[in-house]
Amino acid sequence: MEISPSAIHDHNDKLLSTHKRKLEQTAATIPATNDLIQKLIDFQVAIPSWALGTGGTRFGRFPAGGEPRNLEEKIDDIALLNSLNKSSGAISLHIPWDIPENPKHIKALATQCGIRFDAMNSNTFQDQKDQKLSYKFGSLQHVDKAVRDQAIEHNLQVISHGENLGSKSLTIWLSDGSCFPGQLNFRKAFQNTLESLEQIYAKLPSDWKLFIEYKAFEPNFYSMTVGDWGQSLLYANKLGPKAFTLVDLGHHLPNANIEQIVSLLLMEEKLGGFHFNDSKYGDDDLTVGSIRPYQLFLIFNELIEGMDSRGMNHTSDLGWMIDASHNVKDPLEDLLQSVEAIQIAYAQALLVDRSALEHAQSINDVTQAQEILQDAFRSDVRPLVAEARLKAHGALQPLALFRELNIRSELIKSRGVKTIATGL
Ligand SMILES: [Mn+2]
């Protein structure tokens, strides 16, 4: 479903005078808004192909209707999001849920919609139909070399799909680990995994990056073979310069200091990318910024500090992706909210007075350091984010327009009420 430029124009026209008034108020207190707005325009967040349908839990799934039935419709949905917010110009594909059977056609369709292919994701956490050997007891770590070889081969196929589409990175998340003490020899599991990763790394195209994602627990509940950033960093360091750690916000033990992890990974030149989501307890897959917006701001604060200190490009030097899919919301509305939350946190972090903060730190003025951060966090940057969208020919209020146009009903009309998108 396409949104016509005139629908966006009419929507913006109605809201324009109120928007301009708010923007003027903001601009009076926030310096350098043009530079900041340009950074917001440039910043793009990749949408995962598995977040376009309603997610589920092991207890149940309640589809919203009108879910995309194939990869073409998933690309259509992302194009729809991007025409509203102009910040979702990339898709992150999951194989085998979204195998591009006709890559030339898929690439042409995406290009036509202004969508590029971000990181490819492999899947050795499920057994697929017709699969010879089972991943029940792990994949790249498996005690049986034949299983490891099968998982390696799958990752090489994912790279080849990605090459056809113009992707430049592979994300490996492993569910490998153990559920009970004694089940696994930790050292051997690590070494098997490393050896397997080495074989994948050896076949990685020269301009590609390998992202190693970690997770503290689930589906294994005693040990995870890539369980935290230390283990991921060990693998990345041993593999070489094209291997990086990927941080998924929901993959930490409760109350982990993620902003400190980010800062140190950037220092080591080993932070590769991000999976945004939010959570209260674990890997809850909730909308970005819905539970802990201050933590999200603090993470962006460290990202900007670390990237700027190394002269990195905010837009292109790290992989920015959402990884969430939940049970009760319209998935497209959820993604609009998530992207907006990311932009707000990014804009707030750009407001931090870095030289004042550095000075406060240098004289141990703890109170002032806190004031500087919280002053930025408590600034209402929403008019700036809206202005960035307006300048990029998106909608001033994407979610409101999504609802005004009855997009979900239209999707249900054209795709049916009982469609279920591939994914978890
Ligand atoms: Mn993830």
pLDDT at 371 over 90: yes
Percent of the chain's residues with pLDDT above 90:
93
Q: How far, in Å, from the CA of 275 to the mean position of ligand 1?
A: 5
Residues, the chain: 424
Ligand 1 is a single-atom ion; what residues have CB below 5 A from it? 248, 275, 323
d(CA 361, CA 372): 11
Is there a contact between 387 and 14 (Cβ–Cβ < 8 Å)?
A: no
Among candidate residues 395, 213, 226, the one with its CA nearest the CA of residue 321: 213
User: What number is the average pLDDT over the span 187-200?
Assistant: 98
Q: How far, in Å, from the CA of 22 to the mean position of ligand 1?
A: 36
d(CA 383, CA 348): 12
Q: What is the pLDDT of residues 160-169, one digit of tens each?
A: 999 999 999 9
Q: What is the pLDDT of residues 36-75, one digit of tens each?
A: 999 999 999 999 999 998 888 888 888 889 999 999 999 9
Please give the full DSSP string across 83-120, using - where no structure is assigned.
HHHS---EEE-BTTTT--SSHHHHHHHHHHHT-EE--E
pTM for the full predicted model: 0.97
DSSP 51: G
Q: What is the pLDDT of residues 381-415, one digit of tens each?
A: 999 999 999 999 999 999 999 999 999 999 999 99
pLDDT band for position 418 (50/70/90)? Answer: confident
**Dmax (CA) of the chain:** 67
Q: How far, in Å, from the CA of 139 to the mean position of ligand 1?
A: 18
Q: How far, in Å, from the CA of 423 to the mean position of ligand 1?
A: 13
DSSP 166: T
What spatial distance separates the first Cα and last Cα of the chain, rounded to whole Å? 24
Beta strands in 17-176 (DSSP E): 46-48, 90-92, 116-117, 120-121, 169-173
Q: How far, in Å, from the CA of 23 to the mean position of ligand 1?
A: 35
d(CA 79, CA 221): 38
Distances in Å between the Cα of 2 and the Cα atoms of 51, 126, 310, 320, 393 are 19, 35, 40, 25, 15
pLDDT score for 424: 64
Q: How many CA atoms lie within 13 A of 255 on its CB side?
A: 0
Q: How far, in Å, from the CA of 169 to the mean position of ligand 1?
A: 14
Q: What is the pLDDT of residues 256-295, one digit of tens each?
A: 999 999 999 999 999 999 999 999 999 999 999 999 999 9
Q: How far, in Å, from the CA of 363 to the mean position of ligand 1?
A: 39
Q: How far, in Å, from the CA of 104 to the mean position of ligand 1?
A: 27
Tokens describing residue 218: 């689930």
- Which residue's structure tokens are 């946190």? 345
Give me the amino acid identity at 118.
D
Q: How far, in Å, from the CA of 21 to the mean position of ligand 1?
A: 39
Tokens describing residue 110: 């995406």
Q: How far, in Å, from the CA of 213 to the mean position of ligand 1?
A: 7
